[in-house]
Chains A and B, each alone.
Chain A
Amino acid sequence: MDLDPVGLKILQNQLVNICQEMAMAMMRTAYSPIFSESLDFCTILFDRQGEMIAMADMNPAMLGSAALSGRWIIEELGADSFEPGDVVVDNDPYRGMCHMPEHLLLAPFFYEGELAGFVGNVGHVGEIGGKAPGSFAADATEIYQEGLRLPPVKLMRGGDYVQDIWKIMLANHRTPDTTWGDFNAMVGSLTIGQRRLQELFADHGPQFMNEAVPALYDYAESWLRSEIQELPDGEWDASDVIEDDGVVDTAYTIKVRVVVDGDGAIIDFTGTDAQAKGPINAPYTVTFAAACNGFFQLFKEFPLNAGTYRPLKVIAPPGTVVNVTHPAPCVAGQTEIQPRIIDLVQGACLGQVIPDRVAAAGGGTCSNFLIGGTHPDTGRYYTHYHFDGMGWGGRYANDGNSACNAPHSNCPNTPIEVFETRFPFRHLQYRLRPDSGGAGRQRGGLGIVREFEVLADELSVSALYERMKEEPWGIVGGGPGARTELLIRQAGSSEFRPFGEVFDTTSPSKFTNVTIRRGDRVMIKTAGGGGYGPPQERLPEKLANDIEEGWVTPEGARQDYGIVQ
């Protein structure tokens, strides 16, 4: 094949194709619903230095791992320490990863006896021990409380299980059967990647591959540069807060300056608050992924490899909530700081200059709700990482979407009928939340309301939410979206009250291991998106449709739009 616009494009497609095959194998064989239903993973090919050649992009949150982690692990271990059949695992945020539930598996690929690259995948493992079932300890103060930390170590050696590592893992995770199944699925997916790379190298020859891969990086880089070139040059500042950290009732400000200069951009977080005591901290990988994602949201389609990131420079001072230093906890950076940064970059900064290409703030939290207990029917211990959709911000041309993942995530929900078949709960409602969308010429999307009753004697829940104090903001004159609410009606009581009040937690949105009992009812109301443009400019027929469909109540129409029905 030739190094021309034809041969390179064919190779580009073939490489992504391999990642997709790896992803499919993983989805179909994994145990956790978080893999198989929610697709919280990605699959990646790396070159010999650990630069990303291609990825199957299932979940954008893992971009950071893909872009940086492979490189750092290979640097730490040395490329010559890999033998055929080896698989290295790493979940350490202080060694390249994003937060501990996400594990990177990395295996070398040899062609004709020479190290020719690596295949990898990143998966969110549902339970990894630590102080809270589901491993989202919202009140952790050190990383040691967040679960079992694995620095880059060999999980497989020469094709054999490294039994010592597996034994440690299985002994420290609360649901070892699931761990066993998920890790086998991940290892299986690597094997498929190696097999296909073998064919690809045989087809094209190693020399072509060595020359073509850097050319593909250049290709992605020039694509991104041409997009950035079309943006107006300038500097824009914005800031937003993380409400509290689960340990101390204090807010943390994230400051960002976006600089677009020609065909490159800088995203600078200088001035951001010092890192939190609680887990609401992001390692650099997370901040990097989120900052890039804020730009990517404008571009829709582009090739994804090491070259994609070259035009973007991300500055995040160490010791802040956007570049945490050891041994602070950091499980929530990936879920809560990511969406905040994306909206800061695209909506708050770039929205100042290209308001027609951005969105108002979305609900801005992954709505993490963790459940652990013994199932009364089976006697088995189970954990479940539950999350919900929320409203997206309004856009220049359209209302915000209702009930969607935060933009850095793309995980399908767990259906009611799957949820209740697996876990001891019964839902009373699961619906869109009227009036939760920020008012505007284009309304913000709606959050959801989920209410369920506990059918087991007792179980333990943990929560990690945001936007319970601060509303998701509107832009161009749009109103804010509704705040998150997390309520409980205890058995025997007749009213719903905030969790934080009932259980006297430090934070209303972040707590760990609260015991709830049979007959208790939980109600989760997720945040709505901010509105776009002044509410009084909303077309009367759009508002009439909102009222007819029930997305805006007559009362809401009166309050938010000044309309009397």
Chain B
Amino acid sequence: MIVGIDTGGTFTDLVAFDEVSGERRIVKVSSTPGAPAAAVGAALDELGAAEQVSRLVVGTTIVINAVLQRKGADAVFLTTAGFEDVAHIQRINRPTLYDLQWNKGEPLAKRANTVGVVERIDARGQVVQPLETAELERVLDQVAKVVEGMSNPAIAVCLLFSFRNSAHEARLAEALEARFPTIPVSISSRICPVWREYERSSTTIADAYVRPIIADFVRDLQQVQARIHPDSPVSLMKSNGGQIPLRTATSHSAQLLLSGLAGGLLAGKYYADVLERPSLITLDMGGTSADVGVIRQKQISFRDSYDIEWAIPIVGSFVDMTTIGAGGSSIASFDRGGLLRVGPDSAGADPGPAAYGFGGTEATVTDANVVLGRLDPDYFLGGKMQLDATRSAEAVAVIAERLGNSLEEAALAIVRMANENMANAIRLVTVDRGLDYREFDLLAFGGAGSLHAADVAATLGMRRVVVPLHPGLASAFGLIAATPRVDRSRTCSFDSETGLGGELSAEFVRLVHEVERDLAEDGYDDEVEILRSVNMRYLGQNYEQEIAVPDGPIDDSTIPELVIRFHSSHQSTYGYSMPDNPCELAQLNVVALGSGQRPSLPALPASDRAHGPRAERPVFFEGHDWLDSEIYLRQDLAPGSELRGPAVIAELDSTTLVHPNQTLSIDEHGLLHLEVVGVTRQQPAETT
């Protein structure tokens, strides 16, 4: 049995898949933020039969939370003398344009715990100022003074131009490890050998900073591991959607920062593969936020940096997610100019929406859905939680009064505003990559995704919505659908006019060797697929486009071929190209992919599932007012069948809304497919 466990802030979700029987099981338990591994154990307990677990993958938000809450190590930072303040200077810009009260963020290492090292490597990688032995000794002595009295030290080393020549960093690392054998050392040329000293420093410091958190989590998980089959591997999800075994996780800390976010996109990729839908946009809408991701030609998009906070950028390979403040708990209010807004303020889980009855009084998206009859107060979380429709109505009434509208119209406005915010996020995410969102299908999940998906899709002119199995646990499902993956990038400088195929080839051979070694260290010994790409730009541009390197050996014909591909990619993405201008190869990327066993989606037998609607209840739709709508339980829906809206499909962890005249079909695996054409939006013609 393959098990994926996603430890979130509120709930820890488990999805188990039996490779033999094809059976799937889900478990939802409360998270234990103080000791996150405890919830992992609790979820396994509730699943039972822990000894049958053949593989366990854990995704977690504890790493990023440790940074946000400043609960990491006492970071000691070593850098080239004269540049000790780079992490404080940052990039001199700010996130808000009109706010002199804004406060610049503090880096994770104090200036007083920063040690300058007299050494210098230049832009070509040549040693200008050698790292002398006497200086090395002085640095070690100073580090000894700095770490004295620290309860939890960790050392980060980032020297200028170490991505060109790592010799000084390597020498420092060796000496530090010998002198301070119990203190972990993070080295920038190993973690992210790419240019821009501030971002590289920030990443290296963050790596050191979160190491003890990961070490504790790993130790606790090893206790859990003892309860399952001893040969069964346990791994952690990485930010790039790959996995890393427990025993090596601590030494790749920076790669675990977005561990808890990758699952949703991995689920997206899984469904793109099995459904033969190569272009999907994933919409994961939960309580406080919505995450949007893009699957293109069945592949996840990646980004090479992520800002944990304004002052803490992290360089590495991250699944590309855009998060906006639109969730069930997003609050509706009026801005200073008198227009309605929804989010980014959120009622969170406590007090949560007014409907929760925990003291929230402001109208939220969930309250609007209750008012519209779209959420059943008696069947929230499968009936585990009773919602209070009266409180929702009271909260929404405040909005209605100010709008001068009926209660239902006000609720509709709140829902619509949330949908527009999500639609805008999808527009930006796709346009940034030169993609046309209308050519994509929308894969909707999270607790609230499938409730809003049809409207979001209609707003954007997207034609189809797919609702996967267990939409509220899609991230945990994504974990078991993941395969091993290692990313490696290196800044380089090849010119389209003078670059030599031989040199490019040698660089790639080195990188491929590194990723294969990493994958082997992760305990992976099966066949490896290698993807090579180059980030290219016109000589003079500062942003690159990623261009795939043709298969086969690299020779003198490779660079001209890459140049042709680059011009054409620039043309299609930005609408113009400059074929006469020289190009630059600025970064080389290699990805090693292992083939892992992925869960299959068995066809469901039709016979034992057919069941009609369980009830009928009025639901409010734009342009129709209240309509009697059929209420189904998802497990009752027969594969191969169809139903027409208005209807509501309820399940334990989510609710799917089918608008009037809309057709929902249930495929052989039990996935829901909504055809969006011609629904939901009131046409101007109807109003006049």
Whether A14 lies near B101 (C-beta < 8 A) is: no
CB distance from A350 to the nearest CB of B (A): 11
Number of interface residues of A (CB under 8 A): 91
B379 at the interface (CB under 8 A from A): no
CA gap between A392 and B402 in the complex, in Å: 41
For A431, give the chain B residue with the smallest CB separation.
Answer: B85
A427 CB contacts on chain B under 8 angstroms: 82-83
CB distance from A263 to the nearest CB of B (A): 12
Q: With A12-B339, A415-B198, A426-B122 as given contacts, are A31 and B540 in contact (CB-CB < 8 Å)?
A: yes
Choose one: B102, B110, B420; the contact of A10 (CB below 8 Å). B420
Q: Is the interface of B mostly helix, strand, loop or mixed?
A: loop
A504 at the interface (CB under 8 A from B): no
B100 at the interface (CB under 8 A from A): yes
B195 at the interface (CB under 8 A from A): yes
Whether A549 lies near B112 (C-beta < 8 A) is: yes
Choose, from A71-79, A178-186, A267-275, the stretch at the interface: A178-186
Whether B100 lies near A430 (C-beta < 8 A) is: no
A4 CB contacts on chain B under 8 angstroms: 403
For A299, give the chain B residue with the smallest CB separation.
Answer: B98
B615 at the interface (CB under 8 A from A): no
B684 at the interface (CB under 8 A from A): yes
Choose one: B111, B122, B413; the contact of A420 (CB below 8 Å). B122
A222 at the interface (CB under 8 A from B): yes
- Over the window 640-656 of chain B, the binary record of Cβ atoms lying under 8 Å from chain A Cβ atoms (1 yes, 0 no) is 00000000000000000
For A451, give the chain B residue with the smallest CB separation.
Answer: B82
Number of interface residues of B (CB under 8 A): 69
Choose one: A5, A178, A205, A548; the contact of B339 (CB below 8 Å). A5
- Over the window 314-358 of chain B, the binary record of Cβ atoms lying under 8 Å from chain A Cβ atoms (1 yes, 0 no) is 000000000000000000001111111100000000000000000
Whether A181 lies near B340 (C-beta < 8 A) is: no
CA gap between A543 and B342 in the complex, in Å: 43
B120 CB contacts on chain A under 8 angstroms: 426
B626 at the interface (CB under 8 A from A): no
CA gap between A6 and B575 in the complex, in Å: 34
A162 at the interface (CB under 8 A from B): no
A429 at the interface (CB under 8 A from B): yes
Whether A223 lies near B336 (C-beta < 8 A) is: yes
Whether A412 lies near B92 (C-beta < 8 A) is: yes
Choose, from B238-246, B421-429, B560-568, the stretch at the interface: B421-429
Whether A181 lies near B541 (C-beta < 8 A) is: yes
Whether A410 lies near B337 (C-beta < 8 A) is: no
A428 CB contacts on chain B under 8 angstroms: 82
Whether B100 lies near A358 (C-beta < 8 A) is: yes
B428 CB contacts on chain A under 8 angstroms: 17, 20-21, 24
Choose, from A135-143, A165-173, A399-407, A510-518, the stretch at the interface: A399-407
CA gap between A392 and B94 in the complex, in Å: 12
B123 CB contacts on chain A under 8 angstroms: 417, 420-421
Choose one: B82, B89, B97, B684; the contact of A448 (CB below 8 Å). B89
B196 CB contacts on chain A under 8 angstroms: 415, 417-418
A327 CB contacts on chain B under 8 angstroms: none
CB distance from A531 to the nearest CB of B (A): 15
Residues facing A in B99-158 (CB within 8 A) are 99-104, 110-112, 120, 122-123, 128
A429 CB contacts on chain B under 8 angstroms: 82-83
CA gap between A432 and B339 in the complex, in Å: 44
Whether A181 lies near B581 (C-beta < 8 A) is: yes
Whether A401 lies near B104 (C-beta < 8 A) is: yes
- Over the window 169-203 of chain B, the binary record of Cβ atoms lying under 8 Å from chain A Cβ atoms (1 yes, 0 no) is 00000000000000000000000000111110000
Whether A395 lies near B339 (C-beta < 8 A) is: no
Q: With A9-B339, A24-B428, A407-B100 as given contacts, are A430 and B85 in contact (CB-CB < 8 Å)?
A: yes
A303 CB contacts on chain B under 8 angstroms: 337
CA gap between A122 and B653 in the complex, in Å: 49
Q: With A13-B424, A219-B339, A420-B122 as given contacts, are A402 and B104 in contact (CB-CB < 8 Å)?
A: yes
A250 CB contacts on chain B under 8 angstroms: none
Whether A346 lies near B93 (C-beta < 8 A) is: no
Q: Which of B103, B112, B542 has the most CB of A within 10 A?
A: B542
CA gap between A325 and B215 in the complex, in Å: 67
CA gap between A14 and B426 in the complex, in Å: 12
B27 at the interface (CB under 8 A from A): no
A550 at the interface (CB under 8 A from B): yes
B96 at the interface (CB under 8 A from A): yes
Q: With A184-B578, A222-B338, A415-B198 as given contacts, are A27 and B543 in contact (CB-CB < 8 Å)?
A: yes
Choose one: B112, B160, B684; the contact of A550 (CB below 8 Å). B112
Whether B97 lies near A177 (C-beta < 8 A) is: no
Q: With A417-B123, A430-B86 as given contacts, are A36 and B541 in contact (CB-CB < 8 Å)?
A: yes
Whether A415 lies near B543 (C-beta < 8 A) is: no
A456 at the interface (CB under 8 A from B): no
CA gap between A478 and B571 in the complex, in Å: 56
Whether A6 lies near B99 (C-beta < 8 A) is: no
Whether B540 lies near A431 (C-beta < 8 A) is: no
CA gap between A359 and B337 in the complex, in Å: 26
CB distance from B540 to the nearest CB of A (A): 4
B161 CB contacts on chain A under 8 angstroms: 417, 420
Whether B420 lies near A184 (C-beta < 8 A) is: no
CB distance from A291 to the nearest CB of B (A): 13
Whether B86 lies near A412 (C-beta < 8 A) is: no
- Over the window 393-424 of chain B, the binary record of Cβ atoms lying under 8 Å from chain A Cβ atoms (1 yes, 0 no) is 00000000011000000000100110011001
Residues facing A in B495-529 (CB within 8 A) are none
B403 CB contacts on chain A under 8 angstroms: 4-6
Whether A389 lies near B92 (C-beta < 8 A) is: yes
CA gap between A13 and B128 in the complex, in Å: 52
A33 CB contacts on chain B under 8 angstroms: 542
Residues facing A in B516-560 (CB within 8 A) are 538, 540-543
List 10 other contacts, CB 8 Å, given A29-B576, A223-B335, A412-B92: A6-B339, A9-B340, A10-B416, A21-B432, A188-B575, A220-B337, A359-B100, A416-B197, A417-B160, A429-B83
Sampled A-B contacts (13; CB under 8 Å): A6-B417, A17-B427, A32-B540, A178-B540, A184-B576, A301-B96, A388-B92, A413-B93, A421-B195, A426-B120, A428-B82, A431-B82, A431-B85
Interface residues of A (CB under 8 A from B): 4-6, 8-10, 12-14, 17, 20-21, 24-25, 27-33, 36-37, 39, 57, 60, 177-178, 180-181, 184-185, 187-188, 191-192, 205, 219-220, 222-223, 226-227, 293, 296-297, 299-303, 346, 357-359, 388-389, 392-393, 395, 397-398, 401-405, 407, 410-413, 415-418, 420-421, 426-432, 448, 451, 548-551
Q: Which 8 A-B pairs have the closest CB atoms?
A: A389-B92, A223-B337, A429-B82, A36-B542, A412-B91, A9-B339, A296-B98, A6-B413
